[in-house]
Amino acid sequence: MAEQRTVEIQVLRYHPQHDEQPAWQSYKIPFSDDTSVLQGLLYIKDEIDGTLSFRWSCRMAICGSCGMMINGKPQLSCHTFLRDLLPGPVRIEALAHFPVERDLIVSAGGFVGKLESIKPYLLPREPRALAAGEYLQTPEELERYEQFSACINCMLCYAACPEFGLNADFVGPGVLALLHRYNADSRDGGRAERMPVLNAEEGVWTCMAVGYCSEVCPKRVDPAHAVNQNKATSAADYFLRFLGPKRGPL
């Protein structure tokens, strides 16, 4: 039998009631070619140190829970394999730019509040009776928003965004991409309700087009595209109000 391979994992740990500041802790764990970073952490929790805290759920890159900084890059730990990080040590810390609640767990409340503020659901253009049947959409209409609907709210793009790190009020790449997803949907009529969020200083205008959000997105949503094309939309929304009929408050 081949000798069991091991790798060192260093975790930035923080306990809110005991620690003044986070500190690195090292663990040596066995691994094989198919061991993900998440499985490595689960091994530590099950076999070495039960106090290690982190979020996870699906193990297959769709729930968006297990995002963390792995060797300084925002990544899903279920989607990153130890075999690609050899010889180690593998350094893991909580998602950058978010306050750390404990160990690898960040405060997601701010993100969820922003998500709620953009009404991330279809607001139908007009009331429609059930008997009227389903909404029809052409493939081209689907193409306009489909990519942006793939977001899993994993917040990796926020950990990649220095603007969010410098100003926690920035609505941020993920939420603005979802805002665009609904505004770009031919079935939706909620644009006027979402534009104030987009137009605000903390909306698209805080973005300085670093573009790292799109690099780290595990679902290829390309939030930088959603945000930056809406700078033109926001400018048009501002200037067009001087033309045309008077509109109600946005």
Residues near other proteins, by CB under 8 A: 14-22, 72-73, 96-97, 99-102, 106-107, 138-140, 143-144, 147, 162, 165-166, 184, 208-212, 214-215, 222, 224-225, 228-229, 231-233
CB of 31 to other proteins, least distance (A): 26
User: What does the alpha-carbon distance between residue 146 and residue 149 come to, in Å, rounded to a whole number?
Assistant: 5
CB of 15 to other proteins, least distance (A): 8
Closest by CA position to 61, among listed 229, 220, 227, 235: 220
For other proteins, give the closer residue by CB, 129 or 209: 209
CB of 229 to other proteins, least distance (A): 5
Residue 63, CA atoms < 13 Å, CB-side half-sphere: 10
For other proteins, give the closer residue by CB, 122 or 166: 166
Neighbour-count burial of 51, counting CB atoms closer than 10 A to its CB (0-12 exposed, 13-18 middle, 19+ buried): exposed
Closest by CA position to 227, among listed 151, 152, 166: 151
For other proteins, give the closer residue by CB, 45 or 225: 225
154's tokens = 């994993």
For other proteins, give the closer residue by CB, 4 or 21: 21
- Pair 154, 65: CB distance under 8 Å: yes
For other proteins, give the closer residue by CB, 39 or 174: 174
217's tokens = 């997105």
CB of 203 to other proteins, least distance (A): 16
CB of 35 to other proteins, least distance (A): 26
CB of 117 to other proteins, least distance (A): 21
- Pair 64, 152: CB distance under 8 Å: yes
For other proteins, give the closer residue by CB, 20 or 126: 20
DSSP string for 145-204: TGGGGG-----HHHHT-HHHHH-TTS--HHHHHHHHHHHT-TTB--HHHHHHHHHSTTTG
